[in-house]
């Protein structure tokens, strides 16, 4: 019985809110764990869930050894679900209203220097299809600051090459002429190698013509990070941090950067004022 509403909520996230696939998967996983806990407490209907029930669940997550960040994600899923149920008249009150997330120590983002970024973007310098694709992906990622999940889901319709911008969810993000040239070269001489004769709506694909996976792109970045001799493991988020820090150094306003990065809360953007390089 509890899972029926969870299934409807996940459909709502995908079809109405257009949340990412990864968000839907994590919310389903977290809410399924909650429903299993509630059923062990002999609670089979959501209207029977109380503030005490949810606090007991949060305590159970702590006992299970979950990190503060994982508990916070669980609580975020529960709050979002309860608000959805309340709006749809399936709850008369929100039992999650006073549910508190554990404090998470905010880590100052680590950013690459401009010289390190330049070396990274020069590294895939050859004319093989893979190097041309990798160069275009790395340059676009740094130029726009989009998340890796957003990068691998970009479609041909999201790209306006003549005017030099991409549309990513509800944001329009411009990119420079060098990025435009790298994408043009990839589309002209490399993309056909990957998609071959099959139709694909995705801008970047793997060797099978399918969208690249997050893990695949992480491996790609780790490879290039090692090639230029970085002491830290290079991840897509490090490049996103670097772009944000460098834009602030260039005088881009905090609110504009918030729009580009797609942060819902400007306090998330403000952490880039205290970066480590």
Tokens of 10: 């996940």
Report whether pLDDT(131) > 70.
yes
Residue 107: the pLDDT is 62
Tokens of 222: 């780790």
DSSP SS3 for 211: strand
Q: Report, as an integer, the average pLDDT of 18-40.
A: 89
- Closest to 182 (Cα-Cα) out of 124, 113, 244: 124
Phi, psi of 32 (to 5 degrees): -65, -40
Report whether pLDDT(48) > 80.
yes
Residue 28: the pLDDT is 93
Q: Which pLDDT band holds residue 110 (cuts at 50, 70, 90)? A: confident
Q: Which pLDDT band holds residue 108 (cuts at 50, 70, 90)? A: low
Q: Report, as an integer, the average pLDDT of 181-189.
A: 96
DSSP SS3 for 3: helix
Q: At what angle do helices 214-227 and 236-249 cross, to 10 degrees?
A: 70
Residue 2: the pLDDT is 83
| Interatomic CA distance for residues 35 and 30, integer angstroms | 9
Tokens of 188: 């002209």
Angle at 180 between CA 223 and CA 147, to 5 degrees: 50
Residue 23: the pLDDT is 84
- Return the DSSP state at 159: E
pLDDT averaged over the chain? 90
pTM: 0.64
Q: Of the given ranges (116-130, 141-155, 192-206), which has the lowest mean pLDDT?
A: 192-206
| C-alpha 86: how far from chain center | 27
Residue 106: the pLDDT is 59
Report whether pLDDT(276) > 60.
no
- Return the DSSP state at 131: H
Phi, psi of 167 (to 5 degrees): -105, 120
What is the per-residue pLDDT across 172-184, written as a single tens digit (0 to 9) for each? 999 999 999 999 9
| Interatomic CA distance for residues 81 and 99, integer angstroms | 13
| C-alpha 89: how far from chain center | 31
Q: Which pLDDT band holds residue 104 (cuts at 50, 70, 90)? A: low
């Amino acid at each position: 019985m509890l899972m029926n509403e969870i299934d409807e909520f996940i459909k709502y996230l995908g079809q109405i809110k257009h949340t990412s696939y990864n968000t839907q998967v994590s919310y389903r996983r977290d809410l399924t764990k909650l429903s299993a806990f509630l059923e062990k407490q002999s609670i089979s209907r959501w209207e029977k869930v109380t503030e005490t029930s949810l606090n007991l669940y949060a305590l159970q997550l702590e006992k299970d050894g979950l990190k503060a960040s994982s508990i916070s994600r669980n609580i975020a899923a529960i709050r979002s679900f309860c608000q959805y149920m309340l709006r749809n008249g399936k709850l008369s009150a929100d039992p999650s209203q006073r549910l508190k997330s554990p404090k998470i120590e905010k880590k100052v983002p680590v950013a690459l220097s401009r010289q390190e970024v330049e070396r990274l973007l020069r590294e895939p310098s050859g004319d093989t299809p893979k190097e041309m694709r990798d160069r275009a992906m790395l340059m676009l990622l740094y130029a726009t600051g989009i998340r890796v999940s957003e990068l691998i889901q970009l479609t041909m319709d999201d790209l306006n090459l003549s005017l030099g911008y991409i549309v990513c969810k509800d944001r329009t993000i411009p990119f420079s002429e060098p990025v435009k040239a790298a994408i043009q070269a990839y589309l002209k001489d490399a993309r056909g190698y990957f998609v071959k004769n099959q139709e694909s709506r995705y801008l970047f694909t793997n060797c099978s013509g399918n969208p690249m996976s997050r893990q695949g792109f992480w491996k790609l970045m780790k490879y290039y990070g090692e090639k230029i001799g970085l002491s830290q493991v290079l991840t897509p988020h490090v490049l996103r941090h670097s772009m944000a820090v460098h834009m602030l150094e260039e005088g881009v306003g905090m609110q504009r950067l918030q729009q580009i990065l797609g942060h819902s809360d400007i306090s998330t953007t403000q952490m880039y004022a205290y970066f480590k390089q």
